[in-house]
Homo-oligomer: A and B are copies of this chain.
Amino acid sequence: MNQKRFYVNGIECNVFCDPEDFLSKVLREQLLLTGTKIGCGEGQCGACSVILDGRLVRSCITKMRRVKDYAHITTIEGVGRPDKLHVIQRAWIKHGGAQCGYCTPGFIVSTKALLDEKPAPSREDVRAWFQQHRNVCRCTGYIPLIDAVMDAAKVLRGEMKESDLDFVLPADGRIWGSTYPRPTAVGKVTGTLDYGNDICRKLPADRLHMALVQAKVSHALIKGIDTSAAEKMSGVVKVLTHKDVQGKNRISGLITFPTNKGDGWDRPILCDSKVFQYGDALAVVCAVTKEEALAAAEKVKVDLDVLPAYMNLLEAKAPDAIEIHPGTPNHYFTQKTVKGEDTQPYFKDAGNVSVEHSVITSRQPHMNIEPDVAFGYYSDDGKLHVHSKSIGVHLHHAMIVEGLGVAPDQFVLAANPMGGTFGYKFSPTIEALVGVAVMATKRPCMLEFNYHQQQQYTGKRSPFYGTTRLCADKTGKMLAMEYDFDVDHGPYSEFGDLLTLRGNQFIGAGYDIKNIRGEGRTICTNHAWGSAFRGYGAPQSFMMSETTVDLLADKLGMDPLELRYKNVYREGATTPAGQTPDSLSLPKMIDALRPKYKAALENAAKNSNGKFKKGVGVGIGIYGCGLDGPDTSEAYCEAMEDGTFVIGTAWEDHGQGADIGAVTTAHEALRPMRVAPELLRFTWPDTDLRPNSGPAGGSRSQVMTGSAVRVACQNFLEHAKKPDGSYMTYAELKAAGKDTRVSGTYTVPGVPCDENGQGKPFMVYMYGVSMAEVTVDVESGKVVLDKYTAMIDEGKIVNKTTIDGQNYGGIAQGIGYALYEDFEDIEKDKTMVGGGIPYPKDIPDAIELHYFEEPREFGPFGAAGSGELPLIMPTAPIINAIRNATGAVITRIPALPERVLEALKNVK
């Protein structure tokens, strides 16, 4: 360690540090400037960007020895602060540039460096700058960020008024449907909102760092774990193995269906008898410093009998494969769909046209920028608390409480402000490990993943190996569909049955197909465990059916858009589950798309050449909002002494906008009371403090919890209404002996799907039709998405900025799913770059969104959800566009250049 003097944000710092330490560590851990975030920790994501002597650097790869004495460093805290926002920060707020907000400080600092250097950049310049400096955003699809930079530059050049960046409350005082900024925006753009890792840095001094001892093989029997050497290492307080777990040592997969051959108790907290996948936790070191914990973890000796690892479902299904979970077959669940008449006669009828098409989808990694992090402690009333990135605190409570062996009312789960999860945190990850550590050490404990752990040891999207068969009459009227698919769900059953049901619910969705026979099978493998991911089952399903529709159109000699137009939901149509759709917007959306589609086709034809072939593809996308069946949510509205109202929910915010959703919906519901929006306060989830609003997944929150907020607020109005039509204040309620808090519950009359996949699983759906325009370099196989156009029906818009952000960001992930992203090679894909995260150059600036605001009966004030649809939509249009451009039929995504070249070889 040496002394180092330098300036941070104009303040002279006198720091003692190891010259080999990274600047990010010194800034965050020694100076507690936690606005600078760590994403990948290896220079691939730019979340840690700071300006060092005028040059933009990634502080996570800048060693302190490269920081000269008296160097000047600018961090996000030096760009602007809540009481003195920089123009860039104000522009970021205006354009909703901060969704989860985790990449935001890095982007804003990067923008500062760009505009310092180049005050009048073009959009392309901005993209090139972010590309060059490796600024990655996983939420926004980049467009809102570029918009923000362009506006900020304009203001800084004096070509636009700074006040034009501000939101102006309309004359009617209504924020519903407006661009009202989300309540967390200021905290996010200034780096002052503390995420889990930031909070960990501010825990009391007696907190312990945890380091995991993880399996480096994918399947093995555990013969012994020797912790004795580790226990003797410096700073080690305790080394934990499964023997230290007081409860059942299993995380419940919450098996949904009785036909599941597993019992759901297959995921150990700390492995005892077997290793089921690479990265499985075998032991935990609790030590004073992170370095000490990591050093000691290296000293734990694990004795394993390595077993054959089934790294895909084909291997796991093989007749000679051993059972990964002894006693449970590797194929442990089957979901059928039986709708209408037997489908075979239709396929056998020579008068009909039928096609069959098989695809394999990827193990898409979520690639959230913020790695997993959690901490836990005993509160003074003796309860065990774990704070994490959980997007289902009440759900996860139920999943892990027995495994820990703590009384349910003595265990509290809470959600930190967090970076995007995109669904991986629909599953508990490290909560139980932290709980075990706190119980064993009786001290606060924290566990932070590095990015390799994030990639290798959190859930991934489960690949489908699926075949779809479609049958239509000669006019293109779809008559029957058959399909079957296997789901590679990894070693843990968690929601695997539900996911398989989702396949059944969405393969062929959008079309009025009266007769369906389908089967989905859930397979246990030794690859990464399958967890939820935005779209949950539907990106796979639409990849199956929507690429098959194009083949059918071809065979029919019909235009693929018109074949869709002929078959999409209209009056009298039913979904694959036999349910009546809640909005019939698909035909009008196709009508709106048609002229653009024709122009695109003309453009493609005109601009293709021997090397670069252009093509156009379309597809529809649909997803439900809610958990299957009679989903329910709770909320409350509470008047506070200071004149504010707390809108209490456990609506987890992982960037999608729980804050703006809760506040906007409450504001709309409370309009008779004319309360200023800034007086509405959202809450952070906590199983002890907040009602059970259900998890923040499946695009259910705005519909379900939004409705619960609506009900709570309306109940409050009734409760507080005075005879003269005005409302009681906090003081008046108190004086009258009335509660200041009023609850609301909302339940939808859904019907769970039966063994034939029939029911009313969702009372609200989202619909979309979209078009991809691509250029394929037939020499390299590289596909460039030139433009993407989406017609979207997500019901009434709650907040325009937020819904744009959800759609841009989801579309970007859908593009990634189609073209770049996978987690197949455990070693190679452990980084963001290895996993194929889309950089600015990978997502087009040309993304058009068109909304069709069909009001929904079961959503609050007509709103639906918006999270899942955009990710679902793009894949098939892109894959269809590649075929349209070149004839190449892509059967496995992502459509990496080598796969495109392979497919091109097969073009007749």
Residue numbers of A with Cβ under 8 A of B are 1-3, 10-19, 21, 29-32, 70, 82-84, 187, 192-194, 199, 202-206, 234-235, 237, 288-292, 375, 377-380, 385, 414, 416-417, 444, 642, 684
How far does the alpha carbon of A3 sit from the alpha carbon of B14 in the complex, in Å? 32
Choose among B16, B192, B194, B379 the residue that contacts A199 (Cβ–Cβ < 8 A).
Answer: B16
Known: A84-B84, A235-B288. A30 touches B380 (CB 8 A): no
Which B residues touch A13, using CB under 8 A?
Answer: 194, 202
Query: Does B378 contact A1, Cβ atoms closer than 8 Å?
Result: yes
Could you jot down 11 A-B contacts, CB within 8 Å? A3-B385, A14-B416, A14-B417, A16-B202, A16-B375, A17-B204, A30-B203, A30-B204, A31-B32, A32-B202, A206-B289
Query: Does B205 contact A290, Cβ atoms closer than 8 Å?
Result: yes
Query: Does A289 contact B378, Cβ atoms closer than 8 Å?
Result: no
A17-B204, A30-B203, A205-B290 are known; give 4 further A-B pairs, CB within 8 A. Answer: A11-B192, A13-B202, A30-B204, A234-B237
Chain B residue at minimum C-beta to C-beta distance from A377: B1
Which B residues touch A206, using CB under 8 A?
Answer: 235, 289, 291-292
Which B residues touch A15, using CB under 8 A?
Answer: 199, 202
Query: Does B2 contact A379, Cβ atoms closer than 8 Å?
Result: yes
Chain B residue at minimum C-beta to C-beta distance from A385: B3
Identical chains bound together, number: 2
- Most chain B C-beta atoms within 10 Å of own C-beta, residue among A289, A290, A375: A289
Query: Does A289 contact B199, Cβ atoms closer than 8 Å?
Result: no
Chain B nearest CB, measured from A730 CB (Å): 14
Query: Does A204 contact B11, Cβ atoms closer than 8 Å?
Result: no
Query: Does A205 contact B29, Cβ atoms closer than 8 Å?
Result: yes
How far does the alpha carbon of A684 sit from the alpha carbon of B292 in the complex, in Å? 33
Chain B residue at minimum C-beta to C-beta distance from A83: B10
Chain B nearest CB, measured from A198 CB (Å): 9
Query: Does A1 contact B199, Cβ atoms closer than 8 Å?
Result: no
Which B residues touch A235, using CB under 8 A?
Answer: 206, 288
Query: Does B290 contact A194, Cβ atoms closer than 8 Å?
Result: no
How far does the alpha carbon of A163 sit from the alpha carbon of B236 in the complex, in Å? 57
- Most chain B C-beta atoms within 10 Å of own C-beta, residue among A2, A14, A21, A70: A14
How far does the alpha carbon of A289 sit from the alpha carbon of B205 in the complex, in Å? 6
Known: A30-B202, A203-B30. A380 touches B291 (CB 8 A): no
Which B residues touch A194, using CB under 8 A?
Answer: 13-14
Chain B nearest CB, measured from A162 CB (Å): 17
Choose among B1, B82, B187, B193 the residue that contacts A204 (Cβ–Cβ < 8 A).
Answer: B1
Chain B nearest CB, measured from A77 CB (Å): 10
How far does the alpha carbon of A187 sit from the alpha carbon of B16 in the complex, in Å? 19
Chain B nearest CB, measured from A101 CB (Å): 14
Known: A1-B378, A19-B380. A202 touches B12 (CB 8 A): no
Chain B residue at minimum C-beta to C-beta distance from A444: B1
Which B residues touch A192, using CB under 8 A?
Answer: 11-12
Query: Does A205 contact B291, Cβ atoms closer than 8 Å?
Result: yes
Query: Does A18 contact B204, Cβ atoms closer than 8 Å?
Result: yes
Which B residues touch A30, using CB under 8 A?
Answer: 202-204
Which B residues touch A31, using CB under 8 A?
Answer: 32, 202
Chain B residue at minimum C-beta to C-beta distance from A234: B237
Chain B residue at minimum C-beta to C-beta distance from A12: B187
How far does the alpha carbon of A237 sit from the alpha carbon of B385 in the complex, in Å? 29
How far does the alpha carbon of A291 sit from the alpha carbon of B288 in the complex, in Å? 14
How far does the alpha carbon of A416 sit from the alpha carbon of B5 in the complex, in Å? 12
Chain B residue at minimum C-beta to C-beta distance from A20: B380
How far does the alpha carbon of A202 sit from the alpha carbon of B12 in the complex, in Å? 13
Query: Does A377 contact B204, Cβ atoms closer than 8 Å?
Result: no
Which B residues touch A84, using CB under 8 A?
Answer: 84
How far does the alpha carbon of A199 sit from the alpha carbon of B70 in the complex, in Å? 17
Which B residues touch A203, using CB under 8 A?
Answer: 16, 30
Which B residues touch A83, using CB under 8 A?
Answer: 10
Chain B nearest CB, measured from A554 CB (Å): 57
Which B residues touch A375, using CB under 8 A?
Answer: 16
Query: Does B1 contact A380, Cβ atoms closer than 8 Å?
Result: yes
Which B residues touch A417, using CB under 8 A?
Answer: 14
Chain B nearest CB, measured from A21 CB (Å): 8
Chain B residue at minimum C-beta to C-beta distance from A29: B205
Chain B residue at minimum C-beta to C-beta distance from A642: B70
Chain B nearest CB, measured from A345 CB (Å): 63
How far does the alpha carbon of A199 sit from the alpha carbon of B16 in the complex, in Å? 8
Which B residues touch A193, using CB under 8 A?
Answer: 12
Chain B residue at minimum C-beta to C-beta distance from A292: B206
Which B residues touch A202, using CB under 8 A?
Answer: 13, 15-16, 30-32
Query: Does B1 contact A82, Cβ atoms closer than 8 Å?
Result: no
How far does the alpha carbon of A203 sit from the alpha carbon of B1 in the complex, in Å? 10
Choose among B17, B292, B377 the residue that contacts A16 (Cβ–Cβ < 8 A).
Answer: B377
Chain B nearest CB, measured from A194 CB (Å): 5
Which B residues touch A2, using CB under 8 A?
Answer: 379-380
Chain B nearest CB, measured from A528 CB (Å): 32
Which B residues touch A378, using CB under 8 A?
Answer: 1
Which B residues touch A385, using CB under 8 A?
Answer: 3
Choose among B11, B14, B16 the residue that contacts A444 (Cβ–Cβ < 8 A).
Answer: B16
